[in-house]
């Protein structure tokens, strides 16, 4: 097994992400080592023998890589994972954007980036109200940290604690999309006293986007939640 490790972002099998800075050698043994830093917490810098980096470990009875390569580091300033993804090839779906401690950020991508087809402002606003309402009233309500739209209007970021499995997150989002597509009546939080832009809503557009997303998620699996490397 090669001990050459290319610089870039990696995800540890336990979930946290790291950036490989460069390779070095132990001054006493000349053993190659990897110099890397955490992309969470105090961003500490660490050294690990290169021979260990590409090892496989056992997780839930399966052999998995100790570190999985995610892509190049965008620049000397660390950028969030989604900015390092090739948006020219990114498809609709649900992806793990990053992991910070016990919280996972999911990229729920309703639209293909830069395609000219985006979530309309009134529709995305209604999706936000309904999606947040459903998730915060689900069996995983205590594990839901945040729900919010992307500025590019192609999807949402949903932050959920790591105690909810990826498979359960997919099922939760399927049920949320079904809830939105079936919803009738007054949109939650759509009163002037409850919302900063209460007039800009469209239930019809939200329902259309949810129906489309249901099709995307129909046969979705946890293995599909990794961003494709550049």
Q: What is the CATH number of the domain that holds 214?
A: 3.30.1360.80
Query: DSSP for 51-117?
Result: HHHT-EEEETTEEEESEEEEE---SSS---GGGGS-TTT--SEEEEEEEETTEEEEEEE-S-TTSS-
Instruction: Answer whether residue 166 is part of any domain.
Output: yes
| Three-state DSSP class for residue 19 | strand
Q: Tens of pLDDT along the chain (230 residues)?
A: 456 798 988 999 988 899 999 999 888 899 999 999 998 888 889 999 999 998 999 888 888 899 998 887 665 555 666 677 888 889 999 999 888 888 999 999 999 999 999 999 999 999 999 999 999 999 999 999 999 999 999 999 999 999 999 999 999 999 999 999 999 999 999 999 999 999 999 999 999 999 999 999 999 999 999 887 55
Q: Please give the pLDDT value at position 56.
A: 92
Long-range contacts: 106-109, Cβ < 8 Å, 24+? 106/157, 106/158, 106/159, 106/160, 106/169, 106/225, 107/82, 107/155, 107/157, 107/227, 108/155, 108/156, 108/157, 108/158, 108/173, 108/213, 109/154, 109/155
The residue out of 28, 48, 71 marking a domain boundary is 71
Instruction: Answer whether residue 189 is part of any domain.
Output: yes
Q: Please give the pLDDT value at position 60.
A: 81
Q: How far is CA 58 from the centre of its chain?
A: 24
Q: Please give the pLDDT value at position 59.
A: 85
Q: Please give the pLDDT value at position 223.
A: 92
The residue out of 20, 37, 71 marking a domain boundary is 71
Task: Note whether 173 and 214 are within 8 A (CB).
Answer: no
Shared-domain flag, residues 94 and 185: yes
- Both tokens of residue 229? 């490397």
Shared-domain flag, residues 23 and 103: no
Domain that holds residue 140: 85-219
Instruction: Answer whether residue 224 is part of any domain.
Output: no
CA-based nearest residue to 172, from 148, 203, 141, 145 = 141
**The total number of structural domains that make up the chain:** 2
Shared-domain flag, residues 57 and 115: no
Shared-domain flag, residues 211 and 152: yes
Shared-domain flag, residues 205 and 118: yes
Q: What is the CATH number of the domain that holds 14?
A: 2.30.30.320
Instruction: Answer whether residue 225 is part of any domain.
Output: no
Shared-domain flag, residues 115 and 25: no
Shared-domain flag, residues 26 and 102: no
Shared-domain flag, residues 60 and 96: no
Shared-domain flag, residues 111 and 207: yes
């Amino acid at each position: 097994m090669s001990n050459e490790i290319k610089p870039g972002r990696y995800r540890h099998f336990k979930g946290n992400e790291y950036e490989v800075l460069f390779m070095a050698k132990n001054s006493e043994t000349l053993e190659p080592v990897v110099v890397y830093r955490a992309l969470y917490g105090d961003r500490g810098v660490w050294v690990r023998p290169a021979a260990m980096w590409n090892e496989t470990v056992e997780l839930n009875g399966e052999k998995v890589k100790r570190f999985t390569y995610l892509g190049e580091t965008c620049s000397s300033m660390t950028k969030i994972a989604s900015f390092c993804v090739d948006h020219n090839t990114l498809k609709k779906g649900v992806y793990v954007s990053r992991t910070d401690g016990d919280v996972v950020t999911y990229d729920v991508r309703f639209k293909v980036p830069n395609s000219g087809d985006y979530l309309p402002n009134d529709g995305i606003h209604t999706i936000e109200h309904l999606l947040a309402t459903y998730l915060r009233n689900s069996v995983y309500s205590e594990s839901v940290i945040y729900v919010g739209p992307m500025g590019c209007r192609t999807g949402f970021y949903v932050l959920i604690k790591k105690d909810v499995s990826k498979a359960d997150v997919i099922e939760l989002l399927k049920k949320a999309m079904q809830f939105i597509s079936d919803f009738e009546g007054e949109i939650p939080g759509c009163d002037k006293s409850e919302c900063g832009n209460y007039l800009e809503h469209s239930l019809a557009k939200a329902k259309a986007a949810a129906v489309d997303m249901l099709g995307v998620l129909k046969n979705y699996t946890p293995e599909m939640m990794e961003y494709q490397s550049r």
